[in-house]
Amino acid sequence: MQSPGRFWSFLFLRCPNCRQGHLFNSWIRWIQMNDHCSCCGLTFYPESGYFVGSIYINYGTTVAVVIVSLLVFRTVPERFQLVFFSCLAALTSLAFFRHSRSLWITIDYWINPWKPPELAGGACSEDRDRRED
Ligand SMILES: [Zn+2]
């Protein structure tokens, strides 16, 4: 079976190397990112401050969404515009937080891949967990 593409791994928040392991733990702790891939062992934090670039992606996306919304929602009364667009910017940046990190690590790994540590077995531990249940 052909492995999923880079866009797929970005969109579904998967490891940029094996494209199977999850970047994030769960929807309950939605902001907490895994330290490494549970399938191939690739570290998701190759260096300190690694995800500063994702902040720029998130900021650019938020600005783009607010600018488009300013054009679309011109009918919002002026007295509500500051509150409306401030809330929209805050919600957009929160909503795109995971995908901005996923996009950053996907692009960076595509340009300059780093090696995962050697793992015994090589099978995804998520798959092993499911088989053991
Ligand atoms: Zn992986």
Phi/psi at 109 (5° precision): -70, -35
Instruction: Look at residue 126 and tell me if it is in a domain.
Output: no
**Distance from the alpha carbon of residue 131 to the mean position of ligand 1, in angstroms:** 18
Instruction: Look at residue 82 and tell me if it is in a domain.
Output: yes
**Nearest-CA neighbor of 55 among 103, 119, 113, 118?**
103
Average pLDDT, the chain: 86
**Distance from the alpha carbon of residue 27 to the mean position of ligand 1, in angstroms:** 20
Containing structural domain, residue 84: 7-119
* Torsion-angle region of 18 (φ positive above 0: left; ψ -120 to 50: alpha; else: beta): alpha
Element (H or E) spanning 79, and its range? Answer: helix 78-95
**Distance from the alpha carbon of residue 88 to the mean position of ligand 1, in angstroms:** 34
The pLDDT tens digits of the residues spanning 63-119 come to 999 999 999 988 888 889 999 999 999 999 999 999 999 999 999 999 999 888 776
- Provide the number of structural domains found in the chain: 1
Please state the pTM of the whole predicted model: 0.81
Residue 58 pLDDT grade (very low, low, confident, very high; cuts 50, 70, 90): very high
Instruction: Look at residue 1 and tell me if it is in a domain.
Output: no
Instruction: Look at residue 128 and tell me if it is in a domain.
Output: no
**Distance from the alpha carbon of residue 107 to the mean position of ligand 1, in angstroms:** 15
DSSP-derived 3-state class of residue 56? helix
